[in-house]
Amino acid sequence: MTQTSIIQGRQIGATELDQVGHLLASHPDWSRRRLSRELATLWNWRNGAGQLKDMAARSLLLKLEGRGWIDLPPRRMVPVNRMRHKRLPPSGLAAPQGPVNEPLERLRPLVISECSRGEGVAGQRALFDALLHEHHYLGHRSSVGENLQYLVGDAQGRPLACVLFGAAA
């Protein structure tokens, strides 16, 4: 490899490929999980909270293998996606079923509340999940990675919008 590529948000060149190749050659008994953790540690690849980005490293390793640049050890376990078959019950909560055609003046003051985490947001979080699952064109089972979730309601407490901000991989 003579030029660098941007993979998983990182510049990958000959030096980085050599480091990955050295890890693979030095530790043929390691699992893919162990390799990704060690690679994230070697590169000090961390998120804003200081946690190792081992899942990003694992994704990077899979992409390198997909390009034919490395050979990973065989999978030891088939990953189970617990969210694939998750069924959300109907919200049963008062949500507008059609478009809201009222002027903004009648809806104000709008209430914006974060329901990402913390105590006392379980009900809001359930409403958020149910509304997104019901109304988003792709559906919604869960959010991946660090994210912020907000509900926007009108003065009568009716939910008007769900806003989800997700971090880049």
Phi then psi for residue 29, to 5 deg, are -85, -10
Strand blocks (E) in 27-144: 111-114
Q: Which two tokens stand for residue 75?
A: 């999978």
Which band of pLDDT confidence, cut at 50, 70 and 90, is reported for residue 169?
A: low
Place of tokens 């390793």: 61
Handedness of CA 18, 19, 24, 26 (dihedral sign): positive
pLDDT, tens digit, 9 for 90 and up, residues 113-128? 998 877 777 788 888 8
Residues 6 or more apart in contact with residue 67 via CB below 8 angstroms: none
Percent of the chain with pLDDT over 90: 40
pLDDT, tens digit, 9 for 90 and up, residues 43-96? 999 988 899 998 899 999 999 999 899 999 988 887 665 555 555 555 455 455
Indicate the burial class of 127 (C-beta count within 10 angstroms; 0-12, 13-18, 19 or more): buried
pTM over 0.85: no
pLDDT, tens digit, 9 for 90 and up, residues 127-139? 888 888 777 777 6
Evaluate if residue 38 carries a pLDDT over 90. Answer: yes
